[in-house]
Amino acid sequence: MKSHVRTLAPFLAGLCFAAAAEPCLNAQITNAIQAHVDHSFVIGEKTLPPGEYTFRMMEGSDLSVMTVAGKNGKIIADFHVQAAIDDHRPNHSELVFRKYGNTEFLNKVFETGSKTGVAVAETSKQEKRFVDQGQRAIEHSEEQP
C-alpha cells in the first residue's frame, strides 16, 4: 500500500498544482483594446481593411469569444480565443500577426502590462492552405498606444 502512495504522490501533487494554476491561464483581457492597424488582416474567414478597431471580450462568453468593432462601434467579427502567455510584459497593448507573403492573420492579443492574453483559437481556411503549401509564417507584433 505504501508503494502505491509513493507512486501516486508526485502525480497527485502535479494535478493539484495544475488545478491551482488553471485560473491563471484564463484570458485576462478585461478592458477594450483600441488599435490602429495600417495593413489589411484576416480574422477567421474575414479580411479587414486597414483602420481603427476595438477588440474586447464578448460578455457572457466565459472569456472564450472576442469581438472586433470598427470605428463606428459596429461589431465586424467575433472569433473564438484561448489563453496565451507572452514571454514579456508589454508596455502597451499588443497585436500579434502571422504573415504569409502579403497576407496577415491576427494571431494573439495582449493587454498593457499583462503577460496573459488571448490567441485566436481557430485557423482560417486561407491560412491552412498557406501551411499546406509549405509556406512559413513570419510572426510580428505591433504595440498600440
Q: Is the dihedral of CA 35, 38, 42, 47 positive or negative?
A: positive
Distance CA 56, CA 141 (A): 18
Q: Residues 6 or more apart from 40 whose CB is under 8 A from it? A: 47, 48, 49, 50, 104
CA distances from 86 to 67, 83, 118, 128, 142 (A): 21, 10, 10, 24, 14
pLDDT in tens, the chain (145 residues): 555 545 544 544 444 444 444 444 444 688 999 999 999 999 999 999 999 999 999 988 888 999 999 999 999 999 999 999 988 888 889 999 999 999 999 999 999 999 999 999 999 999 999 999 999 999 999 988 7
pLDDT of residue 142: 92
Cell of 11: 502525480
Question: What pLDDT, on the 0 to 100 scale, is given for residue 1?
Answer: 52
Q: Helix count (H) and strand count (E) of the chain?
A: 2, 10
> Rounded to 5, what percent of the chain is helix, strand, coil?
20, 45, 35
Q: Residue 7's pLDDT is what?
A: 52
Q: Could you tell me where the DSSP H helices lie in 1-143?
A: 2-21, 125-132
